[in-house]
Amino acid sequence: MNLDMTIFHQAFFEEAADLLAELETQLLRLEEAPNDSELLNTIFRCAHSIKGGSATFGFTDIAHFTHGLETLLDRLRNGQAHVSSELTQLLLESLDQLKSLLAVARGEAASAPNSDPLIARIDAAIADSEGQKPTIASPPVEQVVPDEVQRYVFRFVPNRDVLRQGSDPILMLRNLFEMVDEINVRCDTSNIPALTNFDPEACYVSWEVEFTSQHPMSELLEPFEFVSDDCEVSLTAVAGYWQGDAAQQVACEVASVAQAVVTDVAAAAIVTSPAPEPTVTAAAKMETHTLRVSTDKIDKLINLVGELVINQSMLNEVVQHFEISSLPRLLEAVAAMERASRELQERVMAVRMLPIKHAFGRFPRLVRDLAATCHKKIDLKTTGEETELDKSVIEMIADPLTHLVRNSIDHGLETPEERVACGKPEVGVVSLNAFHEGGNIVVEVSDDGRGLDKDRIYRKAVDRGLISESDPMPPDDVLHNYIFHPGFSTAAKVTDLSGRGVGMDIVKQAVQGLGGAISLSSTPGQGSRFRIRLPLTMAILEGLSLRVGDEVYILPLTSIIESIRPKQGDVRVVAGQTEVALVRGDVLPILRLYQFFGVEPIVSEPTRGLLVIVENDGRKIALLVDELIGQSQVVIKSLESNYRKVDGIAGATILGDGRVALIIDVPGLYRNVMPAQAIMTAAA
């Protein structure tokens, strides 16, 4: 049988990535609660599952590496070893190593750092834990010195449903038999019923096996680990074949010599082991192309589809025997259909939504590592982790967020001494917040550090020729925006983390690429706050359809403030060319959409059309349109995939009648219109 294993590989990679993320979270928690046995068990289970999966799919180096790790974790949870900061560091490094090994297995990285130094360190830690063994009050029975041959009686009564659950008792026994000698098996077949009552998928037999083995009990029981909950599995040691004391002593000596060698190797390895930093970032960047969806969401979908089918048959029935008297029923059925399909659409979109904790998940580790390298004390606070965002947005926002967090830690937070001198608590706080606001998701990265140095930004802006020296100090928000200029860094010294001046502009680009916006507020001495506003989803948009000439355009609802029909005196012409509208004291530049889009106008008089007032980045403009048609949700289709980027157009969508309508790109309008208009507004 030639199975294509690659399809299973993908599943394994995803599962392993999930497990590693879980492992990372738990390890970081372990640092805070070193004695939490539940935590240790969870960590052990993660490592065990990775080992099992990698062995099954033939990634032997991963399995081999994880095996050592698993042994160490096993010692930890049995209380034979104790959690220390070195040990957590070792575990975290092992985690990084696993990530790079997985990247290699996925074919994303050419090679991983050699695992041997880490394996040696893990072995050393295991050996250490053996040295600690005497301190344990009552060593459990299974802690037999490995080289000792022991006689056992093993009883295995599988659950009747064991085969249905996908386990194979024979395979388990075979695994066991590989580790043992002098096997004597008795199979109990007395429970097999008469053929009439026989269920071919049930397991009716049980086994009793006597054997000798030099493996410890825990290892012998390993093949049965997954069924031990619902099957009867018992292993008892019986008297016989004890080896002499002398032999035991030799074994111990061998062990201690081995340990000494291992420690030496480990010491050498620590010096030579390369920094795993680059591989970590590579691994973190991986993008998954499949989606795990909670069954809850799927069940709701299935219910809805069922409803839709019922609606449809209702509709059929009404239409087939249609008389004018049944019109109300028809309308009702159509309305029900509409409700169901709209809800279905919402739910299908929800399938793509993931909680933002997927993006936040990497930060505890990042902050921990950065705190160590910067010698700062940092507390990371996250709120709103359950806020849901489109999967692609989450994937793409992770890197900009990382940059902002690094920036806050490196530039924002002071050293503990400086903080104490300023009268602040020694531990700096970096917070990540996510929440809904209007039709958007807002993600905030803030710190309680020193805040932006306005003088330095001003000087830098003058240096770079962005403003001239004679200009007065611009207002805060203008000044703050300079840090998003390419190549703009005010860090006094370039550090490992940031300060090279690349980054903030890339962050801004990335956020804008997602259809979002970034802004910044900062108070000297109290910290700064970056605020990223993102659309809920990139695939669907709540829009207002409007008519310009004889063409229909869609305007995203989120950018619309209001729409008005101006009175005669409300429209003025400034300097004989630029039109402005007076709206409740505000002077807003007017953009005639028909002019911008080159449409043959039907309404060219503002007082006979409508002004739709839109806002972007806090600036408002009034768009002149012929009329508003209505509000609807539209599916965004790309113009670029087959055509190209068009100025002022964000994309296209398909209307109810099958025709294409273009979606207006409001920030794009500003880019194209504002340079000329801004001068005018300043003059006004």
What tokens does 300 get?
């709701």
User: Alpha-carbon distance 332 to 218, whole Å?
Assistant: 67
Nearer to other proteins, 364 or 668 (CB): 668
- Supply the minimum distance, in Å, between the C-beta of residue 427 and other proteins: 52
Q: Kindly state whether residue 652 participates in binding other proteins, applying the rule CB under 8 A.
A: yes
Minimum CB distance to other proteins smaller for 334 or for 629: 629
Cα–Cα separations (whole angstroms), residue 101 to 94, 111, 115, 282, 448 = 10, 8, 9, 12, 38
Q: Out of 643, 671, 679, 684, name the contact with other proteins by CB under 8 A.
A: 643
Using CB under 8 A, which of 310, 617, 647, 678 touches other proteins? 647
CB of residue 657 vs other proteins: minimum separation in angstroms? 10
Helix (H, G, I), strand (E, B) or coil at 612: strand
Contact 151, 241 (CB under 8 A): yes
**Dist CA 53 CA 300 (whole Å):** 32
Min dist CB 548 to other proteins, Å, is 10
CB of 604 to other proteins, least distance (A): 17
Kindly state whether residue 642 participates in binding other proteins, applying the rule CB under 8 A: yes
Question: CB of 573: closest distance to other proteins in angstroms?
Answer: 24
Q: Cβ 597 to other proteins, closest distance in Å?
A: 4
Number of residues that bind other proteins (CB under 8 A): 25
Nearest-angstrom CA–CA distance, 542 and 61: 50
Q: Least distance in Å: CB of 19 to other proteins? A: 37
Q: Cβ of residue 649: shortest distance to other proteins, in angstroms?
A: 7
Does residue number 641 form part of the binding site for other proteins (CB under 8 A)? yes
CB of 658 to other proteins, least distance (A): 6
**Does the footprint of other proteins cover residue 649 (CB under 8 A)?**
yes
- Contact status, residue 79 vs residue 73, Cβ threshold 8 Å: no
Q: Which of residues 525-584 bind other proteins (CB under 8 A)?
A: 551
Residue span binding other proteins (CB under 8 A) among the ranges 92-100, 278-286, 473-481, 591-599:
591-599
Give the residue with the Cβ less far from other proteins, 166 or 598. 598
Give the nearest distance from C-beta 549 to other proteins in angstroms: 10
152-161 as b/e, with b when 16 or more CB fall inside 10 Å? bebebbbbee
Q: Which is nearer to other proteins, 45 or 637 (CB)?
A: 637
Write the burial class of residue 210 (CB in 10 Å: 0-12 exposed, 13-18 middle, 19+ buried): middle
Q: Given the structure tokens 């106008």, which residue do they identify?
A: 601
User: Of 138-146, 377-385, 449-457, 657-665, which segment contacts other proteins by CB under 8 A?
Assistant: 657-665
Contact (Cβ atoms closer than 8 angstroms) between residue 175 and residue 209: no
Angle, CA of 417, 421 and 425, to the nearest 5° = 75
> How many other CB atoms are found less than 10 A from the CB of residue 24?
20
Q: Which stretch binds other proteins (CB under 8 A): 72-80, 321-329, 449-457, 658-666?
A: 658-666
Say whether residue 646 binds other proteins (CB under 8 A). yes
| 593 to 632: interface string for other proteins, x by CB under 8 A | ---xxxx---------------------------------
Q: Whose Cβ is closer to other proteins: residue 631's or residue 638's?
A: 638
Q: Which is nearer to other proteins, 204 or 597 (CB)?
A: 597
Rounded distance between C-alpha atoms, residue 266 and residue 269, angstroms: 5
Q: Note whether 367 binds other proteins by CB under 8 A.
A: no
Nearest CA among 409, 410, 398 for reference residue 431 = 409
Decide if residue 462 touches other proteins (CB under 8 A). no
604, 626, 631, 646, 670 from 623: Cα distances, Å: 12, 10, 17, 18, 11
Q: Give the CA dihedral 648, 650, 654, 660, nearest 10 degrees.
A: 30
Instruction: Check: CB of residue 458 under 8 Å from CB of residue 488.
Output: no
Kindly state whether residue 648 participates in binding other proteins, applying the rule CB under 8 A: yes
User: What tokens appear for 378 in the block?
Assistant: 């940092």
Stretch that binds other proteins, among 122-130, 307-315, 492-500, 633-641 (CB under 8 A): 633-641
Length of the chain measured in residues: 684
Site for other proteins contains 660 (CB under 8 A): yes
Among 371, 430, 661, 666, contact with other proteins (rule: CB under 8 A): 661
Return the number of other C-beta atoms located less than 10 Å from residue 206's C-beta: 18
CB of 611 to other proteins, least distance (A): 20
Q: Which of 28, 153, 639, 673 binds other proteins (CB under 8 A)?
A: 639
Q: Is 676 in the site for other proteins (CB under 8 A)?
A: no
Q: Which is nearer to other proteins, 576 or 598 (CB)?
A: 598
Q: Report d(CA 569, CA 192) in Å as an integer.
A: 98
Q: Among 136, 654, 679, 684, which residue interacts with other proteins (rule: CB under 8 A)? A: 654
Residue 33 or 660: the one with the smaller Cβ distance to other proteins is: 660
List the one residue out of 15, 641, 6 whose CA is nearest residue 288: 15
Angle at 450 between CA 446 and CA 454, to 5 degrees: 100
Q: How many CA atoms lie within 13 A of 396 on its CB side?
A: 21
Q: Which is nearer to other proteins, 428 or 543 (CB)?
A: 543
Among 289, 292, 584, 659, binds other proteins (CB under 8 A): 659
- Using the rule CB under 8 A, give the single segment among 73-81, 389-397, 612-620, 652-660 that binds other proteins: 652-660
- Chain-centroid distance of CA 609 in Å reads 47
Stretch that binds other proteins, among 223-231, 421-429, 500-508, 636-644 (CB under 8 A): 636-644
CA distance 45 to 604: 71
Residue 658 in contact with other proteins, rule: CB under 8 A: yes
Residues near 344 by Cβ (< 8 Å), separated by ≥ 6?
Answer: 301, 304, 305, 308
Q: Which residues pair with 663 in a beta bridge?
A: 554, 651
Location of structure tokens 């080896």:
243
- Assign 572 to helix, strand or coil: strand
Q: Which residues bind other proteins (CB under 8 A)?
A: 551, 596-599, 637-649, 652, 654, 658-662
